[in-house]
Amino acid sequence: MDKRVPQLSYSEVTPKGVYTNRRNFLFGLAATGAAVSGWKSFSRWMSGPATGSVPAPLSGFTKWPDSTTEPITPEKDVTTYNNFYEFGTDKGDPSANAKNFRTTPWTVSIEGEVKKPLKLHMDDIMKLAPLEERIYRHRCVEAWSIVVPWIGYPFSNVIKLAEPTPKARYVAFESYYSMGQMPESVSAGIPFPYVEGLRMDEAMNPLALLCVGMYGETLPNQDGAPVRMVIPWKYGFKSAKSLVKIRFVKNEPPTTWSLATPNEYGFYANVNPHVDHPRWSQATERRLGNFFRRPTLMFNGYSDQVASMYTGMDLRKNF
């Protein structure tokens, strides 16, 4: 070590007042964090036993032959690391806060530019088409991903039932919203109810799944019980959870994340490793449960089934 260089400690180079203030600030920050999480656990503990719906075993579904053969993400990860802003914005909030969410009875209203407007009860939805278990890759815009055995059937079955008129060019999805059942939504910073949409050809694509279960059971509340969309070639936020309304419309419908932050989230939201999010790269992703990152695939690896829907479109502009 060079003796000519004076060996100064951090406290010697930083004026005492500054470093003690900084230390106090950091201590305050840690203490506030601990207090908030302590308060959350305390209020959850005080709220008593869960009163909401719980997953029930599903049977009678067949295995879809085109499932990915990649390892399935442990169920524990998929049910405790969620985005469901109605129940809070931390990844652990939905599993903790959706315990009292009641999903029976449940009705989905099908309306707009259709010959047959319908109100479907959950029993009707379960019987509308044969249930399949489909193992899809699912990529969140925040650059984490999961592989999940979803249970459901192509959304096109709902389209055929409702018989859209020629004016219907888009499908708008709306999630359930109740401030009473979802008090954490107040500080989420996005508008509710959560809304999403697809172009009609996207909604007709055989990969677009109306999903009622996963891992052999009906959906847990935090994953979008009792019925949600799963659109595997798009970022996860396109897959609206806990659906109550499906509306066939003429014009591109508003979507929650593009309303909240239009320069960051577009309508199409196709998984695309070549178009970065303004604040981070989309080139790689972390599979939950894995240590190393992996390259993200164009259309999340579903190009063969979906790329032709976007021929001629500039996917940098239509992100």
299 and 307 in contact (C-beta within 8 Å)? yes
Count of residues interacting with ligand MTE (CB under 6 A)? 16
Nearer of residues 28 and 262 to ligand MTE, judged by Cβ: 262
Q: Is residue 239 at the binding interface for ligand MTE, with CB under 6 A as the rule?
A: yes
Applying CB under 6 A, the span of 111-119, 129-137, 238-246, 306-314 interacting with ligand MTE comes to 238-246
Q: Is residue 240 at the binding interface for ligand MTE, with CB under 6 A as the rule?
A: yes
Minimum CB separation from ligand MTE for residue 217, in Å?
14
Among positions 113, 132, 223, 285, the unique one binding ligand MTE when judged by CB under 6 A: 223
Residue with the CB atom nearest ligand MTE in the bound state: 236
Residues in the chain: 319
**What single string gives the DSSP state of each residue in 149-217?**
EEEEEETHHHHHHH-B-TT--EEEEEE---TTT-GGGGGSSS-SS-EEEEEHHHHHSTT-EEEEEETTE
Q: Is residue 234 at the binding interface for ligand MTE, with CB under 6 A as the rule?
A: no
Instruction: Tell me: cis bond preceding 191? Omega within 30 of 0 counts.
Output: no
Q: Is residue 245 at the binding interface for ligand MTE, with CB under 6 A as the rule?
A: no
Tokens of 114: 């259709």
Q: Is residue 237 at the binding interface for ligand MTE, with CB under 6 A as the rule?
A: yes
Nearer of residues 33 and 189 to ligand MTE, judged by Cβ: 189
Please give the backbone phi and psi of residue 120, each rounded to the nearest 5 degrees, phi first. -100, 125
Please give the backbone phi and psi of residue 161, each rounded to the nearest 5 degrees, phi first. -65, -40
Q: Is residue 140 at the binding interface for ligand MTE, with CB under 6 A as the rule?
A: yes
Instruction: Report d(CA 99, CA 296) in Å as an integer.
Output: 33
Q: Is residue 267 at the binding interface for ligand MTE, with CB under 6 A as the rule?
A: no
Asked whether the CA dihedral 253, 258, 259, 262 is positive or negative, the reply is negative
Minimum CB separation from ligand MTE for residue 96, in Å?
13
Nearer of residues 241 and 247 to ligand MTE, judged by Cβ: 241
CB-CB neighbours of 173 under 10 Å: 26
Return the residues of window 70-109 that contact ligand MTE according to CB under 6 A: 82-86
Minimum CB separation from ligand MTE for residue 276, in Å?
17
Q: Is residue 299 at the binding interface for ligand MTE, with CB under 6 A as the rule?
A: no
Q: Is residue 285 at the binding interface for ligand MTE, with CB under 6 A as the rule?
A: no
Tokens of 67: 């499932």
Applying CB under 6 A, the span of 232-240, 245-253, 277-285, 310-318 interacting with ligand MTE comes to 232-240
Q: Is residue 241 at the binding interface for ligand MTE, with CB under 6 A as the rule?
A: yes
C-alpha pair distances (Å), 70 with each of 89, 137, 176, 261? 29, 9, 32, 33
End-to-end CA distance of the chain: 54
Q: Residue 40: which H helix or E strand, with range? A: helix 16-46
Q: Is residue 175 at the binding interface for ligand MTE, with CB under 6 A as the rule?
A: yes
Return the residues of window 181-210 that contact ligand MTE according to CB under 6 A: 194
State whether residue 25 is helix, strand or coil: helix
Nearer of residues 242 and 296 to ligand MTE, judged by Cβ: 242
Q: Is residue 258 at the binding interface for ligand MTE, with CB under 6 A as the rule?
A: no
Burial class (CB in 10 A: 0-12, 13-18, 19+), 293: middle
Minimum CB separation from ligand MTE for residue 308, in Å?
25
Q: Is residue 153 at the binding interface for ligand MTE, with CB under 6 A as the rule?
A: no
Residues lying near ligand MTE in the complex (CB under 6 A) are found at: 82-86, 140, 175, 194, 223-224, 236-237, 239-242
